[in-house]
Amino acid sequence: MDHRKNYLSKKIDAAEAAALVKSGDWVDYGAFCAAPVTIDKFLAKRAGEISDVKIRALAFPGVAAVSSREDKSSSFIYNNWHFSGGDRKCHDSGNCHFIPFVYHEGPSHYYEKNIKNNVCILAASPMDKFGNFNFGIANSFQRAMIDSADIVIVEVNENIPVCLGGAGEFIHISEVDYVVESDNPRLLTLPEPKISETDKKIAEIIVNTMEDGSCIQLGIGGMPNAVGKLIAQSNLKDLGVHTEMFADAYLDMYKAGKLTNTRKFKNKGKSVYTFALGSQELYDFLHLNPECASYPVDYTNNLAAISANDKMISINNAIEVDLYGQVSSESSGFRHITGTGGQFDFAYGAYHSKGGKSFICLTSTVTDRHGKVKSRIKPVFSPGTITTLPRSITNYVVTEFGMVNLKGKSTWERAEALISIAHPDFREELIKEAEKMNIWVKRPYCTVNVDTSAA
């Protein structure tokens, strides 16, 4: 088969691709750096010409043109599975709507026909000699989007690395309806996260509990990356990777000789991930690297796949934790910040791994925009705050004042444990609130002390 001839027969320009979208359509954009940045701009130009076009994206790299219109016209309704910084700004201005889900279930929403998908538009690497376009650093659930779409459009970007799988990491020209050659925008890169002294203290507590042969999942942000950098400087060895996000911290561990993946039961010898975000050096590292394997999210975040590897360690950020042990990692009151993502998947899966642990990390306080210092361990969440982890799922919670294990604890034990790692300035206030909530027991010899044990 002449793949090049087939390619040329399907080639159109970005304006023609945007013209394929009709009023009333549901349009799926590729995830993360597989978002169709070029076609998005041309689609936005059709505002006022078409109406009621619903768009789904996943952490758009920057601000999607279809979401940034100030007049809030009825042409586009922009929806998102997980907010990027740009998506958050659009949500604040009323131009972006969140789609609640747990990450491993993403493909099922398409295959079970929970949602409609008229047009799928995604960016990919240039076609190879076998007729395949690679999704690069954004596998996610793009195969499910493609399989359920009426029309599939590939936007070619020469800057997208070819990331080996695994599974679900490419689409063949025979499955593509139209091809658009983009202006090859540079991929979004993340600056190195700022790591504070408090982050380092929390990282040290976690790393001290880890063992050789641990399999690691790191969430996004400064705290998980602080853990990764400390691991790179530690004496730990023969570590493995099974994660949703591949970040620069893993590259640090690799350079330090810590990552071998030799002790993994599942995918031995491979660092498994479903998407990557970080530096250009990270993307270059993943390009054609046989030691790394890209998989769809219903594999990486599958609860059985996570727990199959012994000593699975899941490390994620949180915004707030309440005295019941509920974790909020996606909103602050009615302001939505990120999304559920895979935090639930890995918190549950890691706990069920032999020797595994799930860590929720947060600094004990935060300073708001008015300069007021507030406790991040709260009696109850503010109205509108979303619970990411129910109290029954939360395992370890870590602040700079220590670490507590909430599994198997009653409500009063949880309150006592969490107050012990809250900032000292807020402990008396938290005790008073716990008493009002009937989750505090006055014990004659009990004082709220720091608990840094792993028990």
Domain range summary for the chain, segments of one domain joined by +: 22-181, 197-436
The H or E element that residue 357 is part of is: strand 357-361
Cβ proximity of 17 and 42 under 8 Å? yes
Catalytic residue positions, numbered: 244
Half-sphere exposure of 111 (CA within 13 A, CB side): 9
Average pLDDT over residues 28-41: 97
Cβ proximity of 249 and 270 under 8 Å? no
Evaluated on CA atoms 357, 166, 267, 112, the torsion sign reads: positive
Domain 22-181: CATH class, spelled out: alpha beta
Phi and psi of 183, rounded to 5°?
Answer: -85, 20
> Among residues 156, 1, 138, which one has the least CA distance to residue 58?
138
Q: Could you tell me the two tokens for 330?
A: 């996606």
Evaluated on CA atoms 391, 396, 400, 402, the torsion sign reads: positive
Q: Could you tell me the two tokens for 178?
A: 């139209």
Q: Helix or strand or coil: residue 71? A: coil
What's the pLDDT at 70? 61
Q: Could you tell me the two tokens for 28?
A: 């799926």
The model's pLDDT over 12-24, given as tens digits with 9 standing for 90+, comes to 999 999 999 999 9
Cβ proximity of 399 and 421 under 8 Å? yes
What's the pLDDT at 443? 78
In a 10 Å sphere around its CB, with 0-12 CB exposed, 13-18 middle and 19+ buried, how is residue 187 labelled? buried
Which stretch of 218-222, 414-418, 442-446 has the lowest confidence by average pLDDT? 442-446
Q: What angle do CA 32, 34, 40 make, to 5 degrees?
A: 95
Determine the residue type at 110.
Y
What's the pLDDT at 1? 75
Q: Is the pLDDT of residue 229 over 90?
A: no
Q: Helix or strand or coil: residue 335? A: strand
What's the pLDDT at 178? 98
The model's pLDDT over 283-313, given as tens digits with 9 standing for 90+, comes to 999 999 999 999 999 999 999 999 999 999 9
Q: Helix or strand or coil: residue 90? A: helix
Q: Is the pLDDT of residue 191 over 50?
A: yes
Q: Could you tell me the two tokens for 427?
A: 């402990």
Phi and psi of 409, rounded to 5°?
Answer: -90, 140
Average pLDDT over residues 230-249: 95
What's the pLDDT at 454? 43
For residues 96-121, one letter each, b for 16 or more C-beta atoms within 10 angstroms of the residue's C-beta and e for the rest, the string is: bbbbebbbbbbbebbeeeeeebbbbb
Contacts of 73 (CB under 8 A, 6+ apart): 47, 48
pLDDT band at 452 (very low <50, low <70, confident <90, very high): very low
Average pLDDT, the chain: 93
The H or E element that residue 270 is part of is: none
pLDDT band at 455 (very low <50, low <70, confident <90, very high): very low
What's the pLDDT at 108? 96
pLDDT band at 219 (very low <50, low <70, confident <90, very high): confident
Cβ proximity of 228 and 247 under 8 Å? yes
At what angle are helices 424-436 and 411-420 packed, to 10 degrees? Answer: 160
What's the pLDDT at 78? 96
What are the distances in angstroms from CA 435 to CA 418, 428, 430, 432, 438? 14, 11, 9, 5, 5
> Among residues 355, 444, 364, which one has the least CA distance to residue 404?
364
pLDDT band at 453 (very low <50, low <70, confident <90, very high): very low
Cβ proximity of 127 and 156 under 8 Å? yes
Q: Is the pLDDT of residue 73 over 80?
A: no
Contacts of 128 (CB under 8 A, 6+ apart): 134, 162
Topology of the domain comprising 197-436: Glutaconate Coenzyme A-transferase (3.40.1080)
What's the pLDDT at 195? 81
pLDDT band at 449 (very low <50, low <70, confident <90, very high): low
Same topology for domains 22-181 and 197-436, yes or no?
Answer: yes
What does the alpha-carbon distance between residue 161 and residue 294 come to, in Å, rounded to a whole number? 12
Cβ proximity of 401 and 314 under 8 Å? no
What does the alpha-carbon distance between residue 264 and residue 258 come to, in Å, rounded to a whole number? 14
What's the pLDDT at 211? 96
